[in-house]
A and B are shown apart, each in its own frame.
Chain A
Amino acid sequence: MALIELHNVIKVYESQSGSITAVDDLSTSFDEGEFTAIVGPSGCGKTTLLNAIGGLDRPNKGQIHIDGVNIVDLKDRDLIDFRLQHIGFVFQAYNLIPVLTALENTAFILELQGVNKKDRDARAMELLEAVGLADRANNRPNQLSGGQQQRVAVARALASRPRFILADEPTANLDSKSTETLLDIMAQLNDKEKTTFIFSTHDQRVIDRARRIIPLEDGKIK
């Protein structure tokens, strides 16, 4: 059984100029351990699809099963808890908490899950070492470069060992070197921790490294 299954998912946005179908009757699935890139031009529905899979946005129609649970039926409160327990997120704009250090940001999800300080700090440090930022553990986000912040965001997403990680344009704000470093790290973690990665991207460097590519156009798989 697949880790994630989407059945006839439709997401329509209403705007003043009319309806926009961002995801159009889309069905697909993702297996455990995948390193997948959802690709396509701007406005093709990549982020909408990722948000729907992550339970951040509800589709108008269709079902999304994660580990057998149809998250479309979950209430808002249960969905927040589901995300906390099962899904890791990496955002384009890093979205680290500015008042926490790199170590605290990495351990943030674990702290929300109620893991004790000793265990969460050990796990966070292990991940910071993995992303090459152990020496910046006590730095706050404003003391880190964009690439370093994104690596901390990846470490944060991985900390709680989620079933999969959704990364929305994770390299969009990074230079070439930082992008390569980040992709190396994610690929290694995918190998080592068997974590499923699903990216939305139109960055060719990411596409080149993906093991599966889902091309989107007008909300449909090409």
Chain B
Amino acid sequence: MSLTTRLAWRNLGRNRRRSAITAAAVAFALFFAILIRSLQLGIYGHMIDTVVGGMAGYVQVADSAYWPSQNLDVALAEDPEWLDQVAADPLVATATPRLAGFTLLSHRSESAVAQWTGVDFSREDSDYWTSRLIEGAFDEVDESGPYPVWLGRYLAESLHASLGDTLVGMGQGYQGSIASDLMIVAGTLRLGNPELEKRVAILRLSDAQSYSGAYGLWGTIMVTPKNTAASIQASQALAQSHPMTYASWSSWEERMPELKQAIQADSAGGIIILFILYVVISFGLLGTMIMLANERQREFTMQIALGVKRRVLAGMVFVEALLMGLLGAAIGTFMGRGVVYYFHVRPLRLLGDVASAMEQQGWEPVLPPTMDWSITWTHGSIVLLLTLLASIWPIIVVYKSPSIHR
């Protein structure tokens, strides 16, 4: 161990309380930063995953005129060969066709507007749908009976419909035709987004085509890239490599700018809170470093007199701050990651008025934190940098120290 490191390490033990307080300040800051950001980004991730990943698609292929009206009349002709090529692209995790429209659903005396969506379960991630099923099943379907339908749980509630109940659907079909038929409730779904759960009715793709008269047509193709965080880039790259006549590719950020802006606005609030936390912690760290410098000024002077180069002393103070910062960062990471892991496994579910307020905004009242390591690295680096910036004070004192003590 070099002299600088040895002195720095031993100096930590000289005023154990101060070293502990400094490390605790760093640990506290990092703990809260990890917790706040993990919860915040986790909620956004959950929302994007449920709204975008499950229903709209991170990347979507549709007729150029499909958005924003989502008009069934401009559906695309089925092209399974092209779809297989897209699904086999190394950038793509899944590619699956959808067909969607709006209808009125009735059960006994209750009616509700629903968005029916035709899903090709053979191409979908089966775990995704199974995990969202509250009751019912996807594979126990009577082929001779009405179309099986899986309802969002709030839609089922509003229709007072339960498993096995028959519904009447009526709405506009393809090219001005009437879409009307019976449906049987085959299951209810928790989709992770209250707005979706109020309106979504899932049909099998073939049933949806038959119901709407859009035979041999797809409304959209939902593409999930392997790197969902880079959906814009994936959308652009896939559009180049898999062109389709009349079709256009779009990422969810392009189709839903309001969702992206809402996330950015909310995220900015979290960043401001963290900024305030960091400012408070920084002053605490600076205060500690000023005390350290004042206590040691005579010692610095004496060592300079003996022939210790100022850069050696500056290095010693820097390493001392670094060690305190690393110790605090390690504790903060351990605590932060531990608590985040606990809530990742057992997400906080909000109750009462707070839950209602969140649901009204279309957010599921659940707080699932993300386990993304980049949050730990980013905020760990920030608190470490703040500690090292605070160490500039004693370094300045070292460089200003005279070689005699008057």
**A89 at the binding interface (Cβ < 8 Å):** yes
B-contacting residues, A118-154, CB 8 Å? none
In Å, the complex CA distance between A82 and B11 comes to 27
Q: A99-B13, A111-B3 are in contact. Are A80 and B307 (CB under 8 A)?
A: yes
**A202 at the binding interface (Cβ < 8 Å):** no
Query: Which of B14, B299, B309, B404 contacts A80 (CB under 8 A)?
Result: B309
In Å, the complex CA distance between A67 and B276 comes to 59
Max count, chain A CB within 10 A of own CB: residue among B10, B304, B307: B307
A23 to chain B, nearest CB (A): 14
CB contacts (< 8 Å) of B309 on chain A: these are 77, 80-81, 112
Closest B residue to A87 by CB, please name it. Answer: B307
CB contacts (< 8 Å) of B403 on chain A: these are 55-57, 76, 79-80, 83
**B239 at the binding interface (Cβ < 8 Å):** no
Say whether A80 contacts B304, CB under 8 Å: yes
Say whether A100 contacts B10, CB under 8 Å: yes
Q: A97-B299, A99-B11, A99-B13 are in contact. Are A57 and B305 (CB under 8 A)?
A: no
**A207 at the binding interface (Cβ < 8 Å):** no
B302 to chain A, nearest CB (A): 4
Closest B residue to A55 by CB, please name it. Answer: B403
A-contacting residues, B345-381, CB 8 Å? none
Say whether B307 contacts A84, CB under 8 Å: yes
Say whether A112 contacts B3, CB under 8 Å: yes
**B308 at the binding interface (Cβ < 8 Å):** yes
In Å, the complex CA distance between A55 and B7 comes to 26
**A51 at the binding interface (Cβ < 8 Å):** yes
Closest A residue to B14 by CB, please name it. Answer: A99
B-contacting residues, A91-107, CB 8 Å? 91, 95, 97-100
**A108 at the binding interface (Cβ < 8 Å):** yes
A91 to chain B, nearest CB (A): 7
**A64 at the binding interface (Cβ < 8 Å):** no
In Å, the complex CA distance between A100 and B11 comes to 10
Q: A56-B404, A80-B309 are in contact. Are A97 and B3 (CB under 8 A)?
A: no
A142 to chain B, nearest CB (A): 10
In Å, the complex CA distance between A85 and B309 comes to 12
B7 to chain A, nearest CB (A): 6
Say whether B306 contacts A89, CB under 8 Å: yes
CB contacts (< 8 Å) of B310 on chain A: these are 80
In Å, the complex CA distance between A91 and B404 comes to 11
Q: A51-B404, A56-B403 are in contact. Are A83 and B306 (CB under 8 A)?
A: yes
Max count, chain B CB within 10 A of own CB: residue among A56, A57, A109: A56
CB contacts (< 8 Å) of A56 on chain B: these are 305, 403-404
**B312 at the binding interface (Cβ < 8 Å):** yes
Q: A97-B299, A99-B11 are in contact. Are A54 and B307 (CB under 8 A)?
A: no
Query: Which of A57, A85, A91, A112 contacts B308 (CB under 8 A)?
Result: A112
Chain A 43-76 per-residue mask, 1 if CB under 8 angstroms from chain B, else 0: 0000000010011110000000000000000001
CB contacts (< 8 Å) of B299 on chain A: these are 95, 97
CB contacts (< 8 Å) of A112 on chain B: these are 3, 306-309, 312
A-contacting residues, B1-59, CB 8 Å? 3, 7, 10-11, 13-14
CB contacts (< 8 Å) of A97 on chain B: these are 7, 299, 303
Closest B residue to A88 by CB, please name it. Answer: B306
Say whether A57 contacts B14, CB under 8 Å: no
In Å, the complex CA distance between A97 and B302 comes to 9
A49 to chain B, nearest CB (A): 12
Max count, chain B CB within 10 A of own CB: residue among A76, A79, A97: A97
Q: A56-B403, A57-B404, A97-B299 are in contact. Are A108 and B306 (CB under 8 A)?
A: yes
A63 to chain B, nearest CB (A): 19
B-contacting residues, A167-185, CB 8 Å? none
Say whether A99 contacts B7, CB under 8 Å: yes
Max count, chain A CB within 10 A of own CB: residue among B3, B303, B305: B305
Chain B 125-168 per-residue mask, 1 if CB under 8 angstroms from chain A, else 0: 00000000000000000000000000000000000000000000
Closest B residue to A95 by CB, please name it. Answer: B302
CB contacts (< 8 Å) of A84 on chain B: these are 306-308
Say whether B307 contacts A81, CB under 8 Å: yes
B289 to chain A, nearest CB (A): 18
Say whether A89 contacts B3, CB under 8 Å: no
Say whether A89 contacts B14, CB under 8 Å: no
A177 to chain B, nearest CB (A): 26
In Å, the complex CA distance between A77 and B309 comes to 8
Say whether B303 contacts A85, CB under 8 Å: no
Say whether A98 contacts B3, CB under 8 Å: no
In Å, the complex CA distance between A54 and B301 comes to 14
Interface pairs (8), CB distance under 8 Å? A80-B310, A84-B307, A95-B299, A97-B303, A99-B10, A100-B7, A112-B307, A112-B309
A87-B307, A99-B7 given; 7 more Cβ-contact pairs under 8 Å: A56-B403, A79-B403, A81-B307, A84-B306, A91-B302, A98-B14, A111-B3
Which residues in B have some Cβ–Cβ distance to A below 8 Å?
A: 3, 7, 10-11, 13-14, 299, 302-310, 312, 403-404
Which residues in A have some Cβ–Cβ distance to B below 8 Å?
A: 51, 54-57, 76-77, 79-81, 83-85, 87, 89, 91, 95, 97-100, 108-109, 111-112
